[in-house]
Structure 1
Amino acid sequence: MNTHLERQGISQRALDIADKVEAFVRETVAPFEGDLRCGPHGPSEALADELKALGRAAGVMTPHILDDGGHLTQRETAAVLIRSGLSPLGPLACHTCAPDEGNMYLLGKVASPELKERFLPRMVDGSMRSAFFMTEPAEDGGAGSDPSMMQTTCKMDGNHWVINGSKTYITGADGAGMGIIMAKSDEGACMFLVDLPDPAIQIVRVMDTIDSSMPGGHSVITIDNLRVPADQMLGASGEGFKYAQVRLAPARLSHCMRWLGACVRANEIATDYANRRMAFGKPLVDHEGVGFMLAENLIDLKQAELMTYWCADVLDTGAQGGAESSMAKVAVSEALMRVADRCVQCMGGQGVTADTIVEQVFREIRAFRIYDGPTEVHKWSLAKKIKRDWKAENAA
C-alpha cells in the first residue's frame, strides 16, 4: 500500500513501521473479523486482550509512539494509522484506536510529569483503556457540539475537587481504567484525570448505536459527588477548553486516517467481487454502472488521502490546525461515506451481509460523519472564520 504520497517527507523508519503494521493487520487481525466475540457494543474484553497480546508479540503496539517516548510526525502517523485501519479490529490490536490514541496524545502534550508517570505507561502498552467524558445529555441542556453549554460542575472542597453531572456517548467507559473528565468551575472549563472504575461514576446504560468497532461501546454516565485530588487537574482551573483544542484537531485527523484505511480495504473487497461476479454474460466490472462506481471510489479515496496528509503537514508546523482539521474532517468523512455506499451497492445483496466487513465499514463511516463534530458544525465554524477574516481584511 506504499504510495508515492506516503514516501514524501516520511522517514524510512516510519515507512518500515507502516509496512509492519499492514502485514500484521492483513495476516493476523483480519481472520478475527467474523469472531463471535464482536458484539453490538464492540469487541469483548477477552477478544480485545487477545488481539493486543498479538500486537505486542508482533511489535506493533502503539507503533506511532517510539521506544524513547517520542512521537512520529503527524504525516508519519498518517502512514501508520491508515494501515492500522485496514480492518475494523486493526486499531484495537495496534492500540491506535479512539479514544485512547487522542488521550495519550493529550497527556503527552500537557500532563505533569507525575501524571504522565502514573497513567501513560499502562496506556501506551495497551494494558489499560481510557475514556473521554465531555458530551452531555441533550435533555439536560448539556454540552454537545457546543461545549460552552457544559452543565457538569466542579467545586473545590479542601484539597479536592467535587464533580457532579451527567455525560453521554462516552466511548469505552465500560471497562476503562482511566478517564479524562471535563467539568465547569467558576473560572470555566476544567479537565481531570481519574482512576476507573469509581463508585461515584455510574454507567446508566450502554447505548445501542449504529457502529460496533469500539470496546465498551458508548455509555450514558452519572457522576455523583466524585472527589478528585487537586493535583489530578490538567493545568489550571478554566483552561479546559484550551487543552481540549490540543486534543481535538489531531484526534479528528486520526479518525480520518483510520477510516480511510477501512475504506481502502472495503474497496478492495468490492473490486474483487465485481471482477469475479458474472451477470448478463460478463463480469460486473465491465458494466458501466459498476465500473464507474469503482472508478469514482478511486477518485474519492485519493482526495481523502491528499486531504489527510495536507492537514497532517499543517499540524507538523506546530499550528493548532482548527480550520484545517475541520476541512479535512468534512472532506474525508463525506468522501468515505460515498466510497462505503458504493462498495455496498457494487456488491448488491452480498454487500449488506456480515460475510465481509463492507457492511460494517458502511455503518462505521455513517457514524464517523457525526463523531468529532458533524459536517454541519464544521461548516458553520468555517463560515464564522470566513466572516472574521473578511472583517479583518476590510477593517477601516
Structure 2
Amino acid sequence: MDFTISPEIEDLRARIAAFIADNVIPLESDQGAYDGHGNIARDPLEALRAKARSEGLWCLQLRRETGGGGLNKVGMAVCYEEMNRSIFGPVIFNSAAPDDGNMMLLEKVGTDAQKRRWLQPIVEGRVRSSFAMTEPHPGGGSDPSMIRTRAERQGDKYIVTGRKWYITGAEGAQHFVLVARTSDDPKAGLTAMLFDAGQPGWRIERRIGIMGPEEHGGHCELVFDGLEIPAENVLIGEGRGMKATQVRLGPARLTHCMRWLGLAKRCTEIARDYAEKREGFGVRLAERESVRIMLGDLAMAIETGRLLVMKAAWEIDRGSYARKEISMAKIHVANLLHRAADIAIQINGARGYSTDTPLEWIYRYARQARLVDGADEVHKMVLDRVLSEEQNDFWRWDVAGAAEEG
C-alpha cells in the first residue's frame, strides 16, 4: 500500500490536532469538566461539540450525503488517532463508541426510512445510541450464536424477552440496536432490530460498576419483559442478525485501535516531557539508558500498531472484511495501550500515579481494551483458524494486476 495521505486528510489531521491542543487538553486538569463517572461533563461537551460542528470536524467517518466528512477507513485512522490525543477527544467529534459503530451500521444497511428515523438524530447529535448484544451466562458474549434473548414474531411485530448486560452507553441512550434470537436455525437464527428508549417492556436493571472511567451512559444490564418492536424496525431482514453484527463489529474493533493509538502516543508524550525535565543524582531521566530503552521500545511498538491498523483500514477500503488484519491490530494495540500507560507511569513515578496527569485515567481505562469487542484469546483463535485455512497464503503478497488476469 501507499502510505502517503492526501492533502485534504492532512488538513483535517492538523485542524483536529490544533482543536485538541487549544480546546480539549486544557480541560483535563479542570475537575469541574468531569462528570461523576470520569468522563467529560455535559456542559463543556455540548459547547465543544458545537465548536467542532462549526469548524467542519463533525462526523468525519460518514458519507457527505449523510452529514459526515466522507472519510474512508485510512483517513479515519489518521484523524481518529489525532482525536484521542485527549481522553475527552472522540465524543466531541461524534466519533466515539458506541454511536460511531451504530451510525456506520445504519448508514450501510438501513433503509431510507430507517436512516431518517434512527440514524439522522444520532448524526445531528440530538440523541445517543447503544448496541445491545452481549448477555450474562449462559447467553452470548464473544460468541453471538449463544444469544438467548428471544424476539417472537406476532403478526407485524416482535415480542422481546430476555436479558442483556455490559451494554455500553445504555443509560441515556435513546436509540438501540438489539440482536435477539428469532429462531433456532444455527445460521439464520438471529435478527437485528431497532427500538426507542421510550417504548415500554424493557428496563435498565443496573449500571454495572467498572474499574475504569466510563463512556457516557456506562455499561448496563437490561431486562426485556414484553418489549414490542414493529417488523419495519428489523435491519437487513429477519435471520440476518449475524450479518449485521459482522458489518458493525469488524470496523468498530478497528476504530477502537485507531483511538487507542492516540492515547498510547499521549502516554509517550507525557513520559518524554517529564524525563527531559526531571533530574536525579545529577542526571536527567532522559539521559539514563534504562529510560531511553523503554521509550525507544515503546515508540517502535506504537509504529507497529499504526502499520497494523493502516493495513487493516486499507484492506477494508478495497472491499475486504480484513478479518485477520483486524484481529492482529486488535490484539497488538490493546496490549500496547496498557503497556504505554504502565511505562509512562513508571517514568513519572508518583506524579504518574496521581491525578496530576491523565496517565492514571488511561491506565484504568486501558485494561478493558483486551476484553471489549473480543478478548485477546478469541482473536488469537481467529488467527489460528485463518492460518489453518490459508496455510502459507496467510502471509501472501498481493500481486498488482493478478485479479484482472484471473
Shorter-chain TM band: over 0.9
Confirm or deny that 1:255 pairs with 2:256.
yes
Confirm or deny that 1:167 pairs with 2:164.
yes
**Alignment partner, residue 373 of structure 1:** 374
In 1, Cα distance between equivalents of 2:105 and 2:354: 38
Quick one: structure 1 residues 66 and 154, their matched pair in 2 at CA, closer, same or farther if it must change by over 3 Å? closer
Shift of 1:225: 0.7
Contact 2:263 2:337 in 1 (8 A): no
Shift of 1:330: 0.8
Confirm or deny that 1:124 pairs with 2:93.
no
In 2, Cα distance between equivalents of 1:253 and 1:198: 32
**Alignment partner, residue 206 of structure 1:** 207
Count matched residues. 386
**Alignment partner, residue 398 of structure 2:** none
In 2, Cα distance between equivalents of 1:392 and 1:47: 51
In 1, Cα distance between equivalents of 2:103 and 2:168: 15
Shift of 1:39: 2.8
Q: Deviations over 1:126-165 (max 9, x none)?
A: 2211100001012xx1111111110100011121111111
In 2, Cα distance between equivalents of 1:87 and 1:39: 18
In 2, Cα distance between equivalents of 1:51 and 1:31: 12
Q: Deviations over 1:323-378 (max 9, x none)?
A: 21111111221222222211111111111111111111122221111111111110
Alignment-mate amino acid for residue 94 of structure 1: F
In 2, Cα distance between equivalents of 1:392 and 1:76: 28
* 200-209 or 30-39, which deviates more: 30-39
Shift of 1:58: 3.2
In 2, Cα distance between equivalents of 1:58 and 1:199: 39
Contact 1:21 1:80 in 2 (8 A): yes
Unaligned runs of 5+ in 1: none
Quick one: structure 1 residues 199 and 212, their matched pair in 2 at CA, closer, same or farther if it must change by over 3 Å? farther
What are the within-5 Å matches in structure 2 for residues 128-147 of structure 1? 128-138=127-137, 141-147=138-144
In 2, Cα distance between equivalents of 1:208 and 1:173: 13
In 1, Cα distance between equivalents of 2:392 and 2:59: 44
In 2, Cα distance between equivalents of 1:271 and 1:349: 16
**Alignment partner, residue 175 of structure 2:** 178
Confirm or deny that 1:51 pairs with 2:48.
yes
Quick one: structure 1 residues 106 and 82, their matched pair in 2 at CA, closer, same or farther if it must change by over 3 Å? same
* 37-46 or 332-341, which deviates more: 37-46
* 56-65 or 377-386, which deviates more: 56-65
Query: Which residue of 9, 12, 16 corresponds with 1:14?
Result: 9
**Alignment partner, residue 389 of structure 1:** 390
In 2, Cα distance between equivalents of 1:126 and 1:9: 32
Contact 2:335 2:369 in 1 (8 A): no
Contact 1:42 1:217 in 2 (8 A): no
Q: Over aligned residue pairs, what C-alpha RMSD do you find?
A: 2.0
Alignment-mate amino acid for residue 51 of structure 1: L
In 1, Cα distance between equivalents of 2:391 and 2:55: 52
Quick one: structure 1 residues 112 and 9, their matched pair in 2 at CA, closer, same or farther if it must change by over 3 Å? farther
Unaligned runs of 5+ in 2: 395-406
Secondary structure class of the residue paired with 2:306: helix
* 255-264 or 41-50, which deviates more: 41-50
Secondary structure class of the residue paired with 2:65: coil
Secondary structure class of the residue paired with 1:97: coil
Quick one: structure 1 residues 155 and 243, their matched pair in 2 at CA, closer, same or farther if it must change by over 3 Å? same
Q: Deviations over 1:209-244 (max 9, x none)?
A: 123141111111111111011010001111000111
**Alignment partner, residue 31 of structure 1:** 26
In 1, Cα distance between equivalents of 2:160 and 2:389: 36
- Given the two structures, how large is their TM-score scaled by the length of structure 1? 0.93
**Alignment partner, residue 40 of structure 1:** 37
Confirm or deny that 1:329 pairs with 2:326.
no
* Higher RCO structure (Cα 8 Å, ≥6 apart): 1
- Given the two structures, how large is their TM-score scaled by the length of structure 2? 0.90
Quick one: structure 1 residues 130 and 41, their matched pair in 2 at CA, closer, same or farther if it must change by over 3 Å? farther
In 2, Cα distance between equivalents of 1:310 and 1:188: 33
In 1, Cα distance between equivalents of 2:212 and 2:58: 24
Secondary structure class of the residue paired with 2:164: strand
Alignment-mate amino acid for residue 88 of structure 2: L
Shift of 1:47: 4.3
Contact 2:81 2:261 in 1 (8 A): yes
**Alignment partner, residue 277 of structure 2:** 276
Contact 2:178 2:195 in 1 (8 A): yes
Alignment-mate amino acid for residue 189 of structure 1: L
In 2, Cα distance between equivalents of 1:65 and 1:371: 23
Q: Deviations over 1:75-123 (max 9, x none)?
A: 0111111111111110011111001111111111111111011122221
**Alignment partner, residue 288 of structure 2:** 287
Quick one: structure 1 residues 197 and 265, their matched pair in 2 at CA, closer, same or farther if it must change by over 3 Å? farther
